[in-house]
Amino acid sequence: MPRRPGAIDLNADLGEGAGPDGAADGALLEVVTTAHVACGFHAGDPSVMAGTVRAAVAAGVVVGAHPSYPDRAGFGRRSMDRPPAVVADDLAYQLGALQGVARRAGGTVRSVKPHGALYHRVAGDEALALAVAGVVREGGDALVLVLPAGAPALAVASGAGVAVAAEAFCDRGYLADGSLAPRGVPGALVTDPDEAGARAVALVTGRPLTALDGTPLRLDCDTLCVHGDTPGSPGIARAVRRALAGAGIAVRPFAR
């Protein structure tokens, strides 16, 4: 998916129960342009999915799927050694469920963004990337697969005939190789709103971020993410929007 000059999408992962009763979700829907909705395997359930999609549709926010390994106990952040064909079945189940929920809510699922450990595994595992791309391709021509900026899987999925969007994170620290710093490592979470806003502008304008070891790092991206479960996520998202507007950068969805 080609970068649109002077514009970027801002997405958040929702329906995960961030804050008391998912309180952060409503505030984030006032700011973001794409909402990736948990599909029940790491968080959420049919009612939460439906409520989140209805709120996104009402807010004019594009709906995406956020499928995961079947790991509610570990919030989808534990690695699992599941064969690509089994992961494809997992994703088809979750995507189909959200597509059905979205139809009832008057919306359409436009993107698929794997969650947590699956997201990281897909990034560098060609067989798994092909399996995931196959599910997205079968799910409809309009679907876009969201993967980490710089990941080899972007070329794999694109070569398989799937539209892709590269994602970078305003609220996470990076290692020198372009991968996210593991949670729990000092600097892995960016909770200062002004810092997140500055990082967003740098990412969109092609200026380097500083990796945790001091290495300058450039990431070419189509969408920026603020995690719903990052402390203060609505304030971070608002600061990112302000910073982007101040730099003359429009915020609009990569898919419609």
Exposure b/e, 126-149, CB count within 10 A at least 16 = b: eebbbbbbbbbbebeeebbbbbbb
Average pLDDT over residues 224-233: 91
**Higher model confidence: residue 23 or residue 151?**
151
* Domain parsing of the chain, residue ranges: 7-251
- Residues with Cβ < 8 Å from 35, sequence gap 6 or more? 11, 12, 14, 28, 29, 52, 56, 61, 62, 63, 64
Average pLDDT, the chain: 94
The confidence score (pLDDT) of residue 50 equals 96
The confidence score (pLDDT) of residue 138 equals 97
The confidence score (pLDDT) of residue 23 equals 63
Beta carbons of 62 and 33 less than 8 angstroms apart:
yes
Which pLDDT tens digit goes with each residue over 15-50?
Answer: 998 544 456 799 999 999 999 999 999 999 999 999
The confidence score (pLDDT) of residue 110 equals 97
- Residues with Cβ < 8 Å from 152, sequence gap 6 or more? 123, 124, 126, 129
The confidence score (pLDDT) of residue 120 equals 96
Among residues 181, 168, 176, 173, which one has the least CA distance to residue 221?
168
Average pLDDT over residues 138-153: 95
186 pLDDT above the threshold of 50? yes
CATH superfamily of 7-251: Glycoside hydrolase/deacetylase (3.20.20.370)
The confidence score (pLDDT) of residue 21 equals 47
The confidence score (pLDDT) of residue 173 equals 95
Place of tokens 């004019």: 60
CB atoms near residue 162 (< 10 Å) = 24
Which pLDDT tens digit goes with each residue over 86-136?
Answer: 999 999 999 999 999 999 999 999 999 999 999 999 999 999 999 999 999
pLDDT bucket at 5, cuts 50 / 70 / 90? low
